[in-house]
Amino acid sequence: MERSWLARRWWAIAIALVMVYAFPHYPSIRSANELPRLYLVMAMADDQTFAIDEGVARWGATADVSPSGGHQYSNKAPGSSMLAVPAYVALRGVTHVAAGREPTLGEMMWTFRIWTGVLPTLLFLGLLWGFLARFTPDEDARRATIAIYGIGSMALTYSVLFISHQLSAVCIGAAWILAARVIEDERDDRWMLAAGALAGAAPLVDYQALFAAVPIAFWVLIELFERRRGFRPVIQPIAWATLGAALPIAILLYYHDACFGSPFRTGYAASETFAHFHQKGFLGMDRLRWEAFTGSTVAPDNGLLVFCPALVLALPGWVLMVRRGLVAHAAVTAAIAVIYLLFISSLVFWRGGWQMGPRYITVLLPFLLPAIAVALATAARWPALRGAALGLGGVGVFVYTASVAEFPHFPEKFKNPLYEVTLRLVGDGLAAPNLGMIAGLPGAWSLVPFALVVLALWGAAVLGARGPWRPRLVAAAVSLAVTATILVAYRGFDGGGTIADQAYARTVAPAVKSQMR
C-alpha cells in the first residue's frame, strides 16, 4: 500500500524536493526585494504596525524602503507579508520553546519562503493538473507542461525566494480555474466567493497582477451571459465573486491610507531611491520601448524566451485551441499575454534590477500552460517533433534549477549570466547551502543528489509513461540533442567582460562562500 502511494505521487514529491533542496540565502547582498517584506512581517506581528523602523534599525535599510510621515515602510504590496504573519508567530513560538531565543534572520527567511512560495506553488500545480485535462487528455503532455512551469521557469525562482511574483500568479491563476469550474462544470455558485477572494488577493500580493484580472472578469461575464438565461442565474455568481474580492481590496486600500496618506497612493509613489523610475507616467509606465520588449524577451541576460524557450510553444498552441473550439480560453490567455508584454515594454524601470527573467510578468506564465499542453499533445504524433519541443523545455529546466541551487539573482552587470554566474560558481566548487551539505557532501558535489532528482523528474516527463518504447526513445534522444545544442550555443553570447569579472569576485563568489562555512 505504501509503495503504491509513493508510485502514484513520486513525481510530485520530486518537484517538492527540487524546491526545498537548496536554501540560497545570502545576507551580504542585502536583498532589497526580500528584506522589506520580512521587516513588515515582524512589524505587524511584534508591534502591530506597518512601519518597519525596527527592522531597518536592526538590519539596515534597502533600496525598496519608502519614508512617509516620519517612518519607514516597505514599498511593496503587503499581501505576502500578511500571509507570512502566522508562520512567523509559529516560528517564534518554536524557537522560544526549543532554544529560548528569537528566530534568526535565516530561519525567518526560510520559513517565509516555504510558507508563501513553495507551498502555494505545490498546491497550485496540483490544481493545474486537473485543470489542464479540459484542454487535453494526454497525461504525458500535461506532465511535461507542469514540469516546464514548475521547475523550468520563473515560477521556480520566485517560489524559493520571499518575493511575491509567484504568489500573485498562484492567486490569479487559481481564481481563473475556480471560475472555470463554476461556469463550465456547473459547480456551486458559492465557489465564486473563493475565486473573487483570490482575484482580489492577487494585487494585494503584487500590484501588476491586477492586469490579468481584467480579461478574466470579461471572460466570466461573457461566459455567464452566454451559458445562462435570466437575471438571477447570472447575477448570483457575480455577487459572490464581488463579495469575495471586496475584503482583500479593502485591506490594500486601508494599508495605503495608513502608510502613505491615501488609499490610492502606493509605496512606489513615496520611494526615494527609484523615484525617477516609479514616478514617471502611470505607475512607472509612460511609453512603449523596443529596448524593453527585446530586453525582456530575447536578450541573453534576461530574456523570457532565452531562459525558457518552451514558452514559444504557446503560439502554435493558441492556433490549435481555436481550431478545436476552445476559442474563449485561447482569447483570454492570449489577451493576458499581450497585456503583460505591453506592460513590461512600457515600464521605465523594465529591467527591474537583479532577476532571472523579466520577473514583473511572472503572473503571465500560468496562462500560457493550456496552449503549451495542447501543442505538446499534438506534437506527440511525431516523436522527433515532440522531442524538439521538449528539448526547448529542457533548456529552461537546466537554467532555472542550476541557478536556483547556486545564486538565483542575475545582476545587470552580467551579460551572459548562465555562464558568468551559475556555471562559473559550479566550476569554482561553490553552491548554495543545501541538503547535500547537511549530509556531508562538499562544495558543488553537494548538488549531485539534486541533479539526479532533476534528471529523473525531467527524464520521466520526456520519456512519457505511455506508448511504444521506440518513439519515446527517439523523442528523448532528440530532446537531449536540442537542449545540449542550445545550451552550448549560449556560450557564444557576449559576456560582461572586466565589469562582470569584478562583480563576480567582489559580490557573487564571496556571498556564496560566506554561507558554505
Residue 196: what pLDDT? 97
Rounded to two decimals, what is the model's pTM?
Answer: 0.95
Beta carbons within 8 Å of 348's beta carbon, 6+ residues apart:
276, 277, 278, 280, 281, 284, 285, 286
Beta carbons within 8 Å of 337's beta carbon, 6+ residues apart:
314, 364, 367, 368
Residue 392: what pLDDT? 98
Residue 382: what pLDDT? 95
Residue 14: what pLDDT? 95
- List 285's β-bridge partners, or say none: 282, 347
Give me the helices (H) in 288-326, please: 290-297, 304-307, 314-323
For residue 32 the three cell numbers come to 532589497
What's the rounded Cα separation, in Å, for the pair 199 and 197?
Answer: 5
Residue 478: what pLDDT? 96
Tens digits of residue pLDDT in 397-443: 999 999 999 999 999 999 999 999 999 999 999 999 999 999 999 99
Beta carbons within 8 Å of 37's beta carbon, 6+ residues apart:
74, 76, 80, 81, 84, 112, 162, 163, 164
3-state secondary structure 63-131: CCEEEECCEEEECCCCHHHHHHHHHHHHHHHHHHHHHCCCCCHHHHHHHHHHHHHHHHHHHHHHHHHHH
Reduce the DSSP state of residue 347 to 3 states and report it. Answer: strand
Q: Which residues of the chain have pLDDT under 50?
A: none
Residue 48 near residue 429, CB atoms below 8 Å: no
Tracing cell 550555443 back to the chain, one arrives at: 489
Residue 303: what pLDDT? 96
What's the rounded Cα separation, in Å, for the pair 46 and 329?
Answer: 45
Tracing cell 494585487 back to the chain, one arrives at: 203
Residue 446 near residue 436, CB atoms below 8 Å: yes
Tracing cell 530575447 back to the chain, one arrives at: 298
Burial of 505 per CB tally in 10 Å (0-12, 13-18, 19+): exposed
User: Angle of helix 35-42 relative to helix 105-113, nearest 10 degrees?
Assistant: 100
Report angle CA 387, 390, 391 to the nearest 5 degrees: 80
Beta carbons within 8 Å of 260's beta carbon, 6+ residues apart:
66, 68, 73, 266, 267, 269, 270
Residue 334: what pLDDT? 98
What's the rounded Cα separation, in Å, for the pair 451 and 456?
Answer: 9
What's the rounded Cα separation, in Å, for the pair 196 and 241?
Answer: 4
Residue 25: what pLDDT? 96
Tracing cell 537546466 back to the chain, one arrives at: 398
Residue 260 near residue 270, CB atoms below 8 Å: yes
Give CA torsion, residues 385, 391, 392, 398, to 10 deg: 170
- List 71's β-bridge partners, or say none: 68
Tracing cell 537554467 back to the chain, one arrives at: 399
Q: Of 57, 114, 60, 55, which Cα lies nearest the Cα of 86?
A: 114
Give CA torsion, residues 62, 68, 73, 79, to 10 deg: -130
For the chain, give percent helix, strand, coil, nearest 5. 70, 5, 25
Measured in whole angstroms, how far is the alpha carbon of residue 38 from the centre of its chain?
Answer: 18
What's the rounded Cα separation, in Å, for the pair 31 and 50?
Answer: 20
